Amino acid sequence: MKVISKIKNCFFYKLPEISQWKEFFNIFSKKEKKIFSLFFCLFILSAAFLNLNYYFKNTIVIAKSGGEYKEGLIGQPRFINPLYLSDNDADRDLVEILYSSLVKFDEKGTIINDLAKDFQIKNQGKDYEFLLKEKIFFHDGKPLTTEDIIFTIKLIQTAQYKSPQRIEWSGITTEKQGNDKVIFHLQKNYSSFLETVVHLKILPKHIFQDIPPENFPWTLANQEYLIGSGPFKIKEIKKDKSGSTNKIIMQRNENFYGKKPFLEKISFYFYKNIEELLTGAKAKKIDGFSISDARYLKDTGKQGFDLYRLSLPRYFALFFNLQDTKFAKGKEIKKAINYAIDKKEILEKVFLNEGQVVNSPILSDYFNFSEPSQIYEFNPNKAKEILSEQGFRENQSGKRIKILEKNATFLFKNNLKYGSKGEEVKELQKCLSKDKEVYPEGKITGEFGNDTRQAVIRFQEKYAEEILVPTGTKKGTGNVKLLTRKKLNQICQEEPEKIIPLKFTLTTSNKSPLTEIAEILKKQLESVGIEIEIKKISLSELETNVLAKRDFEILLFGEALGQIPDLFPYWHSSQKEYPGLNITNYQSKEADELLIKARESVDEKERKKNLELFQEVFLEDSPTVFLVRSYYFYFVSPKVKGYEITEISQPSNRFSKIKDIYIKTKREWK
């Protein structure tokens, strides 16, 4: 209070001049000066805090242009050309960013406009009309028009260019209306056609129109041809001394037709394997990377990245070859196998519970369809019960076998002798001819001649204890009477006992996670008495021999659906021959009709209804045991903001909203 009183007396409550400041400080003692300084500092800090608090309350953090995002990829890019998209994820990732489509998927898997300003479906689903946005340019500054769209489709449809997409665009005609409108005419309704359009990446006609098929650029060797209209464009490709690509740098496309990306650059670093990739992540050389194997989650979780679990419409399943008679008519055996499999164990041990159990061909949980009314829950006792009802009993080693009873095909009822003729003589000759020592001539004539008589004598003497001894005779007579007939009926006219083991060969790839799944399945099926032999082969052999020739009993494999479910290629009877994807040879008139209705329906509710009905028919027939589907894991540095994707139809779709992610930020008044 003493200090405050002195201040009042000095300034009379008026703003001090410089001379007064000096006088002001002179009136304080050394201790009072320290106290005043403390209060003054507190005042300044309080004012600053209030100002900052006001600033933060009335401003928001927003994305700022700039920054570089670094993505790590496994493998080497090969065909960065939308015409030749392979199964190589690196190729698809780069194409997704460099090139644009008429429409695309958003973060929830819904189709939205991309190059198209608007689109309409007409003529009961047979015509698709797209109106382009204004001022669309390729990376080299040339305008993108309907000419480029039609040109790209013609390349795909021309056999000499050998595009894998040719089948999808077969029979589709295009109509151009000016530079901004294009119409696709379909021969039949196709509910998933929009997804086909999503995968149509547009090539620049002015670059490729004069290049013949044999010289068409496929690879990175032709960097000048990597011209698209996507949000980023190629800036530099770096290679090591061996010629392998180790880095690709992309820069922002300043002429992008849509909202410009926040990022200034994206760099892709290429690693030989997942171990090298994780080493790069640990060293903070990259800001993002993806893996599909849950076993590496523990390692990656320690690297300080945010984890995004992306849902994919893919699953693993057991496919029965219905061309095999054991499965063609053995519906109950297939059901028993369904009950014997514990899918949760597979999900836990192979995928660390990072995924979902699958019970239906339409992936009910992914596409938000109704679950099937019939689900084969794990029930080994039920499996054993079915197998027992089918006549397969457990032997001493725990393996199930079926014993076929002996059936007499022919019984000798009459006495036969030299000169006899007819069907019974013919059966006698057939019987005797089975033993070369008894009837070496083996003639089947139906006439009881000398050769036959000598054969009967040898037969009687061979089994003398049962035929001759009881009558006190030492030598055969050559006449077929009671005791001879009895032995003939015992030896010759019975089918031998037939034992059928319940054993199957399970064919799969020699790659993880299929090998691990196969071992678990073997253990589970053998626990109910079904013997399993695992056949592990390379992916190339799987493609050329197993799938092409349908050469398997049970196949453990994976299948991938699109974002718009179309099950026609996988289960319609017209697709059972290679290269069709109906690898089980499944045939059902009712299922075929439902698949056609679902494929041709433009109405989403009607398509859903038909697919749900299909799943009921399909699961009753049980041509497949659906197992599990796993998540796709995407790791992103915490400094990267704006990533919101949850569902993708293929790994490259994780970049479908690349223009919305950012690293740099700024504050803006509300």
The residue behind tokens 């036959």 is 452
> Quick one: how many helices (H) and strands (E) in the chain?
24, 24
Bridge partner list, 385: none
Specify burial of residue 159 (Cβ count, 10 A radius: 0-12, 13-18, 19+): exposed
Picking from 5-9, 85-89, 320-324, which range would have the lowest pLDDT averaged per residue?
A: 5-9
Edge-first strand order for the sheet with 288-291 is 232-239, 245-252, 265-271, 68-74, 288-291, 632-636, 306-310
Residue 413 lies in a domain: no
Same domain flag for 214 and 291: yes
Instruction: Count CB atoms within 10 A of the CB of residue 203.
Output: 26
Estimate the share of the chain in helix, then strand, then coil, as percent rounded to the nearest 5. Answer: 40, 20, 40
* Alpha-carbon gap, residue 526 to 511, rounded angstroms: 23
Q: How confident is the model at residue 87 (pLDDT cuts 50, 70, 90)?
A: confident
Q: Contact, 516 vs 347, CB < 8 A?
A: no
Picking from 83-87, 164-168, 236-240, 559-563, which range would have the lowest pLDDT averaged per residue?
A: 83-87
* Alpha-carbon gap, residue 363 to 346, rounded angstroms: 18
Strand-strand pairing, 68-74 and 265-271: parallel
- Smallest Cα–Cα separation from 341: which of 315, 317, 370? 317
Same domain flag for 544 and 510: yes
Statement: residue 617 has pLDDT above 90: yes
pTM (two decimals): 0.79
**Residue 376 pLDDT:** 93
Residue 415 lies in a domain: no
**Letter for the amino acid at 526?**
E
Query: What SS3 class is residue 183?
Result: strand
The residue behind tokens 């204004």 is 134
Question: pLDDT tens, 197-227?
Answer: 999 999 999 999 999 988 888 776 678 899 9
- Smallest Cα–Cα separation from 519: which of 349, 309, 340, 358? 349
Which of 471, 491, 511 terminates a domain? The answer is: 491
**What is the DSSP track for 597-640?**
HHHH--SHHHHHHHHHHHHHHHHHH--EEEEEEE-EEEEE-TT-
Q: Both tokens of residue 312?
A: 């994919």
> 39-68 b/e with 16+ CB inside 10 Å = b?
eeeeeeeeeeeeeeeeeeeeeeeebeeebe
Q: Both tokens of residue 605?
A: 């509710």
Long-range CB contacts (< 8 A, 24+ apart) of 570-576? Answer: 570/361, 571/361, 571/595, 571/614, 571/618, 572/596
- Distant-in-sequence, close-in-space partners of 484: CB < 8 Å, separation ≥ 6: 456, 459, 460, 467
Q: Both tokens of residue 77?
A: 């890019």
Check whether the bond before 569 is cis (ω within 30° of 0): no
Same domain flag for 136 and 118: yes
Instruction: Count CB atoms within 10 A of the CB of residue 646.
Output: 11
Same domain flag for 616 and 642: no
Residue 409 lies in a domain: no
Statement: residue 656 has pLDDT above 50: yes
Rounding to the nearest 10 degrees, give the CA dihedral for residues 83, 87, 88, 91.
30
Q: How far is Cα of residue 276 from the mean position of the Cα atoms in its chain?
A: 25
Question: pLDDT tens, 401-423?
Answer: 887 766 556 788 899 999 999 99
* Alpha-carbon gap, residue 295 to 274, rounded angstroms: 11
**Letter for the amino acid at 495?**
E
> 403-420 b/e with 16+ CB inside 10 Å = b?
eeeeeeebebeeebeeeb
Query: What SS3 class is residue 210?
Result: coil
**Residue 107 pLDDT:** 79
Which of 491, 524, 539 terminates a domain? The answer is: 491
Q: How many residues does the chain have?
A: 670
Q: Both tokens of residue 614?
A: 């299909």
Same domain flag for 571 and 429: no
Domain assignment of residue 255, given as a range: 68-311+632-669
Same domain flag for 378 and 341: yes
- Smallest Cα–Cα separation from 604: which of 125, 53, 1? 125
The total number of structural domains that make up the chain: 4
Question: pLDDT tens, 299-314?
Answer: 776 678 999 999 999 9
**Letter for the amino acid at 384?**
K
Which of 447, 467, 491 terminates a domain? The answer is: 491
* Alpha-carbon gap, residue 58 to 154, rounded angstroms: 55
Residue 103 lies in a domain: yes
Taking residues 447-473, report their average pLDDT. Answer: 92
Same domain flag for 186 and 230: yes
**Letter for the amino acid at 376?**
Y
Q: Pick the residue with more confidence: 303 or 484?
A: 484
- Distant-in-sequence, close-in-space partners of 187: CB < 8 Å, separation ≥ 6: 126, 171, 172
**Residue 260 pLDDT:** 92
Q: How confident is the model at residue 60 (pLDDT cuts 50, 70, 90)?
A: confident
- The DSSP code for 545 is I
Q: Both tokens of residue 493?
A: 């006219």
- Distant-in-sequence, close-in-space partners of 535: CB < 8 Å, separation ≥ 6: 505, 506, 507, 508
Q: Which stretch, 174-178, 294-298, 404-408, 532-536, has highest mean pLDDT?
A: 532-536
Q: How confident is the model at residue 2 (pLDDT cuts 50, 70, 90)?
A: very low
**Residue 494 pLDDT:** 59
Our CA angle for 231, 236, 239, nearest 5°, is 130
* Alpha-carbon gap, residue 583 to 570, rounded angstroms: 8
* Alpha-carbon gap, residue 6 to 251, rounded angstroms: 67
Give the domain CATH number at 621. 3.10.105.10
Same domain flag for 91 and 40: no
Residue 235 lies in a domain: yes
Q: Contact, 326 vs 669, CB < 8 A?
A: no
Statement: residue 6 has pLDDT above 50: no
Same domain flag for 473 and 348: no
* Alpha-carbon gap, residue 372 to 359, rounded angstroms: 8
> 476-510 b/e with 16+ CB inside 10 Å = b?
bbbbbeebbbebbbeebbeeeeeeeebebebbbbe
Q: Is the dihedral of CA 212, 217, 221, 223 positive or negative?
A: positive
- Distant-in-sequence, close-in-space partners of 388: CB < 8 Å, separation ≥ 6: none
Residue 414 lies in a domain: no
Same domain flag for 168 and 181: yes
Same domain flag for 100 and 205: yes
Please provide the average confidence, as pLDDT, over all residues in the chain.
88
Give the domain CATH number at 255. 3.40.190.10
Q: How confident is the model at residue 326 (pLDDT cuts 50, 70, 90)?
A: confident
Query: What SS3 class is residue 90?
Result: helix
**Residue 416 pLDDT:** 92
- Smallest Cα–Cα separation from 374: which of 166, 626, 566? 626
HSE (side-chain half, CA atoms, 13 Å) at 82: 28
Residue 471 lies in a domain: yes
Q: Both tokens of residue 295?
A: 């076993």
Taking residues 279-308, report their average pLDDT. Answer: 87
**Residue 269 pLDDT:** 97
Q: Both tokens of residue 31?
A: 């201790």
Residue 62 lies in a domain: no
Same domain flag for 183 and 138: yes
